[in-house]
Amino acid sequence: MNAVLLTILIVYTLALAALLGTLIFKEKRVFFFPAKVSCSLLFLILGIYCEVTEGIWRADLLIIAGFVFCFVGDVILGLFNMRKNKKFFVSGTLFFLFGHIAFILATCMAVEPDVKELIIPILAELMLYVLLKKKNITMKKLIPVLYIYALFVSGFMARAISIFLFMGTRGALLLMIGSILFFISDTLIFFLYFVRDHRWSTHGWNLATYYVGMALIGLSIFF
C-alpha cells in the first residue's frame, strides 16, 4: 500500500469517526450534513484514485460512475435527514439505484452472470415482504420503491459473491465484503426510515457499514 492510499484511508477513517460523533453527541448534530458530505467525497476520491492507479478500462468507468451516483445520493439523503421531505428520499434512492446498476454492469464485464445469482434477490424480496408485514411501518406510499431498490442492491451483492467464488482473489474478497456491508446498511435504512420505533444506534450502524463497504469496494480494484 503506497503513501497516498494510506493517507486517504487515514483521513477517511477520521472523517467517519467525526460523522459518527455527530450522532453520539447531540450538540454536534448541526455538523452532521457537512460531515456526511465529507465522508462521501472521500470515498469518491478513494474510488477514483484506486481506479486510476490500476488503469482505466470500460468496467472501471462504470465503477467510477457508480461512486459518483452514490455520492450524489448521499448528499440528497443528507438533505432528507435535515428537511424530512419525501422527495429527497425518493431522489436519493434513485441515485443509489443508478449506482448499483453501474456496479452490476461493471461486474458483468468481469465475470459472466450465472442464473443461480437470482436466488439472493428472490430471498431479499421475500425478506422485504415479511418486514413490511410489521404494523408500525411508515411512508407506505414508497413501498414499491423499496421492492425495486431491494432487487438491485441484493443483485449487486449476489454478483460480488459469485465473482469471489469464481476468482478467489483478495480483490474479489474485498468486493464481496463491501457489497455485503452495503446490503446490511440498506437493510438498516429500512428500520431507520420505515419503522417508527428503532434504536438510536441504528443510524450509526447504518453509516458505519455503508462507508466501510464503499471503501472496500474501492480498494477491491487496487488489490
HSE value, Cβ hemisphere, 13 Å, CA-based, for 171: 12
What is residue 120's predicted lDDT score, i.e. its pLDDT? 95
Cell numbers at residue 27, please? Answer: 450538540
Question: How high is the pLDDT of residue 13?
Answer: 96
Between CA 209 and CA 192 the distance in angstroms is 14
The C-alpha cell at 25 is: 453527541
- Give me the pLDDT at residue 54, please: 66
Counting every residue written for the chain, the total comes to 223
- Rounded alpha-carbon distances, angstroms, from residue 170 to 41, 66, 89, 128: 25, 21, 35, 31
Question: Residue-wise pLDDT tens for the chain (223 aa)?
Answer: 688 999 999 999 999 999 999 988 888 888 999 999 999 999 999 988 887 776 656 667 888 899 999 999 999 988 887 777 788 888 999 999 999 999 999 888 888 888 999 999 999 999 999 888 876 787 778 888 889 999 999 999 999 999 999 998 998 999 999 999 999 999 998 888 887 776 668 889 999 999 999 999 989 877 7
Identify the pLDDT of residue 133.
Answer: 83
Q: How many helices (H) and strands (E) does the chain have?
A: 8, 0
What pLDDT was estimated at residue 119? 95
Cα 151 from Cα 115, distance rounded (Å): 15
Q: C-alpha grid cell for residue 75? A: 448528499
